[in-house]
């Protein structure tokens, strides 16, 4: 399809299952107030770990949100994905039968898939041998079931794609859904991501020395690292014409996205790879650096990420750096869902008129350079027109989505 024939893509529904609250209203209110979702770990025995806090979703009852999916047959990440998708579809005002009849599918990102199931299977194998493995549990372990859970819950008959590109996976999913709609291959896509707190991921980052002792403090000179977290984030993407014809609320327009995979180091981010990703996202969206009013940073709270991300932003934006903040300061790092939650915050910011804060920053690290506006503390009233949402991952998997105020 020619560039002129590409369709516009609207965001009409938002769904969140998070440590900050369930539903887009609760999530947005917590972000605006700079509240923390970090608590002591309760989902596994954290004895022996030096740092024992995470962003867990307490009191999650999938049956409170799901209409079709039998929760007992699905893993926690799939439950998060399906619940967030159901919430997003309700928020978009789609009738379930009408959505099932539409050319609609799902694209969901994840880092760990159903790691809790694998943890339990491993324990069964070690304790009882391979013959002691629970077959029903094994059936819940496949990561590709996360998008399948969304299609099952919503009765969708289009694609169900799960992206395993780690901590940038939700932005990959949003970009994929955007492509299907703008090219005319689909009319509606549910896009986002899901992951669950688990012992293996916590242990891995703990061994890397990357877990913060109390809170995640991106951009702070006394930052301590990341905080593992969990949840599900979902956005309803549909063609602009469909949204207008339905009289739907339009939170934002997806303007474009960019991807790079520099693969220079297993864990260290690369400035040049990220800068190129930003440029590709700008080109795809047809915007210039001066057009961008806000950056929702990957902002993990590690020194390596913060310094590399800010250096890449400075390389592209020059002397005028837009306000840049990290919602991981409140939510923690939800891994494959992280950029999905970033997209939710960006859409809410565009629609309601505010800049999400870096809630926990106290003193901006002077090594990051002058005039870095991290939006400290609480949300700031503003009228952003164009925002960019960062998602980066191990191996140099970078994905950036550009979103615009509906006009």
- DSSP H stretches of helix in 218-270: 240-246
Calculate Rg over the CA atoms of the chain.
Answer: 20
Residue with tokens 């809790």: 116
Q: Which residue is catalytic, options 333, 347, 374, 390?
A: 333
- Phi, psi at 358, each rounded to 5°: -95, 95
The residues, ordered by sequence, that sit 6+ positions from 402 with a Cβ below 8 Å of its Cβ are 254, 255, 256, 257, 281, 282, 284, 285, 287, 386, 387, 388, 389
Q: What six digits make up the tokens of 234? A: 């979902």
Q: What six digits make up the tokens of 289? A: 């650096």
Find, among 130, 143, 154, the residue nearest to 74 by Cα.
143
Decide if 16 contacts 233 (C-beta within 8 A): yes
Find, among 6, 36, 356, the residue nearest to 179 by Cα.
6
Q: Which residue is catalytic, options 65, 206, 282, 298?
A: 298
Decide if 217 contacts 362 (C-beta within 8 A): yes
SS3 39: strand
Question: Is the alpha carbon torsion for 49, 197, 399, 380 positive or negative?
Answer: negative
In 3-state terms the chain splits into helix, strand, coil percentages (rounded to 5) of 40, 20, 35
Burial class (CB in 10 A: 0-12, 13-18, 19+), 233: buried
Q: What six digits make up the tokens of 325? A: 């903040």
Cα separation, 346 vs 327, whole angstroms: 10
Whether residue 298 lies in the annotated active site? yes
Cα separation, 191 vs 162, whole angstroms: 10
Cα separation, 230 vs 227, whole angstroms: 10
Whether residue 167 lies in the annotated active site? yes
Cα separation, 180 vs 112, whole angstroms: 25
Whether residue 202 lies in the annotated active site? no
Cα separation, 372 vs 364, whole angstroms: 8
Residues marked active site are found at: 167, 298, 333
């Amino acid at each position: 399809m020619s560039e002129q024939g590409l369709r516009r893509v609207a965001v009409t529904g938002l769904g969140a299952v998070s440590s900050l609250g369930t539903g887009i209203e609760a999530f947005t209110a917590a972000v605006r107030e700079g509240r923390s979702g970090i608590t002591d770990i309760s989902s596994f025995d954290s004895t022996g770990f030096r740092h024992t806090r995470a962003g867990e979703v307490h009191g999650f009852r999938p049956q409170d949100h799901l209409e079709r999916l039998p929760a007992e047959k699905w893993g926690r990440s799939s439950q998060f994905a399906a619940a967030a998708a159901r919430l997003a579809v309700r928020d978009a005002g789609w009738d379930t039968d009408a959505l099932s009849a539409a050319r609609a599918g799902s694209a969901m990102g994840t880092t760990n898939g159903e790691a809790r199931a694998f943890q339990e299977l491993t324990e069964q194998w070690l304790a009882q041998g391979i013959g002691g493995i629970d077959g029903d549990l094994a059936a819940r372990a496949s990561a590709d079931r996360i998008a399948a859970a969304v299609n099952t819950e919503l009765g969708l008959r289009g694609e169900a794609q799960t992206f395993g590109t780690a901590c940038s996976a939700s932005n990959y999913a949003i970009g994929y859904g955007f492509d299907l709609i703008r090219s005319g291959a689909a009319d509606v896509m549910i896009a986002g991501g899901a992951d669950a707190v688990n012992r293996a991921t916590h242990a891995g980052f703990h061994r890397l020395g990357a877990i913060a002792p109390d809170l995640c403090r991106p951009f702070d000179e006394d930052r301590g690292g990341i905080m593992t977290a969990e949840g599900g984030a979902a956005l309803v993407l549909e063609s602009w014409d469909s949204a207008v014809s339905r009289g739907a609320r339009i939170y934002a327009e997806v303007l474009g996205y960019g991807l790079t995979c520099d693969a220079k180091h297993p864990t260290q981010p690369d400035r040049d790879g990220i800068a190129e990703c930003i440029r590709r996202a700008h080109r795809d969206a047809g915007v210039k650096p001066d057009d961008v009013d806000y950056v929702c940073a990957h902002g993990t709270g590690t020194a390596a990420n913060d310094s590399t991300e800010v250096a890449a932003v400075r390389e592209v934006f020059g002397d005028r750096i837009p306000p840049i903040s990290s919602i991981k300061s409140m939510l923690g790092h939800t891994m494959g869902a992280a950029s999905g939650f970033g997209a939710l915050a960006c859409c809410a910011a565009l629609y309601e008129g505010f800049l999400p804060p870096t809630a926990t920053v106290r003193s901006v690290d002077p090594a990051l350079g002058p005039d870095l506006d991290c939006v400290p503390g609480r949300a700031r009233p503003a009228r952003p027109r164009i925002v960019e949402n960062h998602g980066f991952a191990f191996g140099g998997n970078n994905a950036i989505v550009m979103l615009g105020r509906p006009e």
